[in-house]
Amino acid sequence: MSANPRRYRPALRLPAVLYVSAALLVSSTAGWYTFGGEELSHLGGKGPSSPSAAAGTEAGGALSRPMDLPWPTEGQSSAEVEGIGSLGTRGEQTPVPIASITKVMTAYVILTDHPMPAGEQGKTVTADQQAADESYSPTESTAPLVAGHAYTQRQLLELMMLPSGNNVARLLARWDAGSQEEFAKKMNKAAAKLGMDRTIYTGASGIEPSTKSTAADQLKLARAVMKNEAFRQVVATPTITAPGVGVQIRNSNRLLGQDGVIGLKTGSSTPAGGNLMWAATKEIEGTSHLILGVVLHQQAGTNPTQAMAAAFNASHTLITAIRSALPLALAGR
């Protein structure tokens, strides 16, 4: 997180097996800039990575042709097509820190406890002094909040998801559960219900390196949360103007709007490396297909900005390859 507090059809009789092989991915180390940035935690650690493939059987059916995809050569990753199933998983699924990807579960719990119809603003939450004071933290990414100001639920979700505001995540946790500790219990219960058995949440923001998960687990969350239209609208928002201060903030997901990308969430820190949970669409013969993916632990133990750039590059390469190969892979289903 940033150290700058101002940056703010009929199926086959027998399901075809999807064979996925890894190809070398060369990632650029070019930097990038965003108002929000990600965590700047300085704890080391890098987990092992080994290739694995999965064919997945989520409702829908298998692809009629195999897809040879350029999976990242480090960390762990997983992807799927909604209604079709898994495109595969790479890397040893050992729980690793996930940084601000954590906020996806925070949003999921908030929207579960306080349903918000698409296009509406939801409930009203008043920012407390703690959330306002934390806006100026020099050690984590924040969003500008004014003590005593009434924010809508949608505004706070935007301030949490777009610039990755840790202070907003903690405010929402206190509003929902009374404390961040009680909210983390809700997060873990929600994870258990989704079958995320290799995940542990210890806070609402993700700044804690003790919050850990796997690409496969986080893909389960992506699948669930993207069914919520209000959430989809939030993560597809390119820019917002922070209420009460008039500061324009752009989405930290620099892939948004490119190659069918419609979300989802960035996350980086020294122990977590670069991480991206992404959602993209591909229209084929008049039907829009939702593609979901998670890339974790890219260049862990290095500079978070460089690591995040690697996660963007790895994800972009995977997204473009899937979108290019999907029409042929679906032909004849």
Residue 62: predicted pLDDT? 62
Note down the domain range covering 273: 76-330
Instruction: Let me know if residue 263 belongs to a domain.
Output: yes
Instruction: Let me know if residue 249 belongs to a domain.
Output: yes
Residue 262: predicted pLDDT? 98
Residues of the chain with pLDDT under 50: 1-60
Instruction: Let me know if residue 126 belongs to a domain.
Output: yes
How much is the pTM?
0.83
Residue 119: predicted pLDDT? 94
Instruction: Let me know if residue 56 belongs to a domain.
Output: no
Instruction: Let me know if residue 42 belongs to a domain.
Output: no
Residue 333: predicted pLDDT? 60
Q: Which two tokens stand for residue 142?
A: 């924040």
Residue 58: predicted pLDDT? 41
Instruction: Let me know if residue 311 belongs to a domain.
Output: yes
Q: What is the DSSP string of 135-164?
A: GG-SSS------TT-EEEHHHHHHHHHSS-
Instruction: Let me know if residue 260 belongs to a domain.
Output: yes
Instruction: Let me know if residue 51 belongs to a domain.
Output: no
Residue 65: predicted pLDDT? 65
Q: Which two tokens stand for residue 257?
A: 């709007």
Helix axes of 180-193 and 102-113: crossing angle, nearest 10 degrees: 90
φ and ψ at 245, to 5 degrees?
-125, -20
Give 268's strand partners.
274
In 158-213, DSSP assigns E strands to: 212-213
Residue 53: predicted pLDDT? 35
Residue 329: predicted pLDDT? 87
Question: For residues 94 and 175, what is the distance between their CA atoms, to the nearest angstrom?
Answer: 32
Overall domain count for the chain: 1
- Indicate which CATH number applies to the domain containing 160: 3.40.710.10
Residue 44: predicted pLDDT? 28
The 3-class SS string of 4-26 reads CCCCCCCCCCCCCCCCCCCCCCC
Which of 242, 251, 1 has the alpha carbon at shortest distance from 132? 242
Reduced to 3 states (helix: H, G, I; strand: E, B; else coil), residue 241 is strand
